[in-house]
Amino acid sequence: MDAPAWLLLAAYLLAVLAPAPFIGRYVAKLMEGTSGVLRFGRFLESPLYRLAGVHPDAEMSWRGYAAAILTFNLIGILFLFALQLAQGLLPLNPQQFGAPTWDSALNTAVSFVTNTNWQGYGGESTMSYLTQMLGLTVQNFLSAATGITVAVALMRGFARRNAETLGNAWVDITRATLYVLLPLSTVLAIGLIADGVIQNLDAYRTLTTLEGSSQTLAMGPVASQEAIKMIGTNGGGFFNANSAHPFENPTPLTNFLQMVAIFLIPAALTISFGEIVGDRRQGLALLAAMVLIFVPAVVATTASEQAGNPLIAELGVDQVASSTQSGGNMEGKEARFGIADSALFATITTAASCGAVNAMHDSFTPLGGLVPMWLIQLGEVIFGGVGSGLYGMLLFAIVAVFVAGLMIGRTPEYVGKKVETFELQMAAITILIPPFLVLAGTALAVVTEAGLQGIGNPGPHGFSEVLYAYSSAGNNNGSAFAGLAANTPFYNLTLALAMLLGRFGVIVPVLAIAGSLAAKKRLAPSAGALPTDGPLFVLLLAVTVLLVGALTFLPALALGPIAEHLQLWPR
């Protein structure tokens, strides 16, 4: 990694970490009902509660909380599915797009509701403006609000004592949307528009190029969707090229703003955790573990891309005119961003549960593509998605304190709560569900005719494309190795199932853990307990995350990117 890349990484971490304490404390006060903003915002909430028949003061058990979350998101899936199928009959469709196929519509509905935003279609050639705004953009807000809500419920589980409730899911979703996601997205959208991201409802424009041919330029309400796709770690782009498209991401400044937006709330929620449980050091320990894994991942990805492809470099500049491999792997990357920005973006978006891309991951070097894929496979906990990254990391913390408890011969404790059989079982289930979906889906795809038909690249790279697709779906990321032809009934349905179970198969056990913890008494710190706010626990937590990922996925990675790397570097 060269000096400019190091400076970029340092500037990025500063831009993310500096506002985290302020946003984190604000979110904690907001979700606990003590923020001053609620005095002025109740006139926004009250009509919504009356319309929905919600009693905001009525708290829910974990089962009621889970039922509300599942019902809310099921309605979202059905609405978005129906909206797509009816879009040819609805307004705000200047290009007169018809309905997508039913399997593509179902995949998209599940994808956006689960905060995955996997896109097997080209946005500018498939979706009307109404579908983009009323369907996809709205679900970008609501799926992110769902993640924040579940994370806050788990925080309350640690903070409360002898309690039977976790709060009100409807109130939490409303406040996360109105007072966190909407203001941040509005500010970001204005910034993006100021630097060239388009925002209009115009019909597509056909222009004459300098060569005399015609070219159609897609228009649309891009900045508004771009902002929440980053703030909410969604990732679904208005255009098929996503954030590589100049109308979505025109300059290095917009690129930097989008990268910062991805980690902004996930970093802040670690501070919120410390505030709600009454020990700020606990939140800082989680944040430190995330940074400890993230920085080496950025270094590995950037160094691999800057090294380039040795098979091209060996041919020499004279034999490969205009090749840029001698200066690093620029294939699939935008010249306005370069290698360092593209590698950092790829690492950020896969460390978070965000499918946005500003370069084609399929064109990365084998190790450059391995790191983003493995970050997804770790469970999207290295900052992770909005809310989901934090509750995922807390599950690993439960496993880490259990391992530590075995070492010191004590009942494991975390943040003043005993970790017993039920919590460990639920944590194990949530950690194992995504890997099962990834490996089972990949195995099914490579042994069935329907799955093999989508693979355009033979050998290890084709296997990597399939493995990446199911890793992305099962862990609710949404990015892809784009060489896989995945818009088929087989992939649309199997990936939709992986997205659905990867999201809600995790959320329900997390809420069960929250309910169990809330019912327990809070223990006073004791000399025999392992401190969970110091460097030793940070290291233990990071090692636990990495070991689980390595033991689960190393054999599959050996068949894909590792085998491909050995073909490039045989000596």
Select from 515, 499, 491, 500 the least CA-distant residue to 104: 491
pLDDT tens track for 344-365:
999 999 999 898 999 999 999 9
pLDDT tens track for 228-264:
999 999 998 899 999 999 999 999 999 999 999 999 9
Separation of alpha carbons 160 and 520, rounded Å:
8
Q: What are phi and psi of 415, to 5 degrees?
A: 50, 45
Distances (CA, A) of 360 to 6, 232, 242, 387: 22, 21, 10, 27
- Using an 8 Å Cβ cutoff, are 302 and 343 in contact? yes
Average pLDDT over residues 423-440: 94
Position 546 pLDDT exceeds 80: yes
Question: What confidence tier does 323 reach under pLDDT thresholds 50, 70, 90?
Answer: very low
Position 408 pLDDT exceeds 80: no
Select from 508, 485, 502, 333 the least CA-distant residue to 426: 508
- CB count, 10 Å around CB of 17? 15
Q: For strands 413-414 and 417-418, give the pairing.
A: antiparallel
- Cα-to-chain-centroid distance, residue 551: 22
Position 549 pLDDT exceeds 90: no
Q: What is the sign of the dihedral through the CA atoms of 460, 303, 439 and 503?
A: negative
Select from 361, 304, 373, 372 the least CA-distant residue to 1: 304
> Which tokens in the block code for residue 302?
């950037």
Is the pTM value of this prediction over 0.75? yes
Q: What is the DSSP string of 452-507?
A: HTTB-S-SHHHHHHHHHHHHHHHTT-----TTB---SHHHHHHHHHHHHHHHHHHH
Top-confidence residue, 523 or 450: 450
Mean pLDDT computed over every residue of the chain: 92
pLDDT tens track for 288-320:
999 999 999 999 999 999 988 777 755 554 444
Select from 188, 357, 148, 380 the least CA-distant residue to 272: 148
What's the longest Cα–Cα distance across the chain? 79
Measured CA angle at 361 (ends 359, 363), to 5 deg: 90
Share of the chain above pLDDT 70, in %: 96
Position 385 pLDDT exceeds 60: yes
Question: What pLDDT does 308 receive?
Answer: 83
Question: What pLDDT does 302 receive?
Answer: 96
Average pLDDT over residues 487-497: 96
Position 71 pLDDT exceeds 50: yes
Average pLDDT over residues 491-513: 97
* Domain definitions of the chain by residue range: 19-263
Question: What pLDDT does 327 receive?
Answer: 73
Please name every residue paired with 333 in a beta bridge, in sequence order, or none if there are none: 359
In the three-class reduction of DSSP (H, G, I as helix; E, B as strand; rest coil), residue 417 is classed as strand
How big is the chain, counted in residues?
Answer: 571
Question: What pLDDT does 216 receive?
Answer: 92
Question: What pLDDT does 61 receive?
Answer: 96
Top-confidence residue, 188 or 316: 188
Separation of alpha carbons 171 and 269, rounded Å:
18
Distances (CA, A) of 379 to 265, 310, 385, 414, 502: 18, 32, 10, 21, 10
Separation of alpha carbons 81 and 349, rounded Å:
26
Select from 506, 546, 230 the least CA-distant residue to 388: 506
Position 321 pLDDT exceeds 50: no
Separation of alpha carbons 318 and 545, rounded Å:
46
Position 150 pLDDT exceeds 70: yes
Separation of alpha carbons 365 and 368, rounded Å:
5
Question: What pLDDT does 503 receive?
Answer: 96
Separation of alpha carbons 110 and 350, rounded Å:
20
Question: What pLDDT does 412 receive?
Answer: 85
Of the listed ranges 62-66, 70-74, 313-317, 348-352, the one predicted with least confidence: 313-317
Share of the chain above pLDDT 90, in %: 79
509 by Cβ neighbours in 10 Å (0-12 / 13-18 / 19+) ranks as buried
Average pLDDT over residues 541-545: 94
Position 322 pLDDT exceeds 50: no
543 by Cβ neighbours in 10 Å (0-12 / 13-18 / 19+) ranks as middle
Average pLDDT over residues 406-426: 85
Question: What confidence tier does 483 reach under pLDDT thresholds 50, 70, 90?
Answer: confident
